[in-house]
Amino acid sequence: MSRVLVVGATGMIGSHLTADLVARGDEVTVMSRRGPSDRDPAAVADLPRLIADYTDAEASPRELEGFDAVVFAAGNDIRHVSAGEEDAEFWERTQSGGVPRFAARAKAAGVARFVQLGSYYHQLNPEWAERIPYVGARRDADDRTRALSDDGFAAMTLNPPSIVGADGRGLRRFAHMIAWTRGELDEPDLFAPPGGTNYMSVRSLSQAVLGALDRGEGGRAYLVGDQNLTYTEYFQMLADAAGSGAVIEERDEEHPFQPDRFIVQGRGAVISFEPDAEEQARLGYQRGDVARALAEIVAAVDGAR
Mean local confidence (pLDDT), 210-236: 98
Higher pLDDT: 81 or 284? It is: 284
Phi, psi of 26 (to 5 degrees): -75, 155
Indicate the SS3 state at residue 2: coil
This prediction's pTM: 0.94
Distance CA 138, CA 161 (A): 13
Distance CA 40, CA 58 (A): 27
* Residue 75 confidence (pLDDT): 63
Distance CA 157, CA 119 (A): 9
How far, in whole angstroms, is CA 210 from its chain's centroid? 14
Burial tier of 208 (Cβ tally within 10 Å: 0-12, 13-18, 19+): buried
Domains in the chain: ranges and CATH: 3-159 (3.40.50.720), 165-197+228-303 (3.90.25)
Sign for the pseudo-dihedral over CA of 180, 182, 185, 189 = positive
pLDDT in tens, 15-54: 999 999 999 999 999 999 888 887 888 888 889 999 999 9
Mean local confidence (pLDDT), 76-102: 79
pLDDT in tens, 168-177: 778 999 999 9
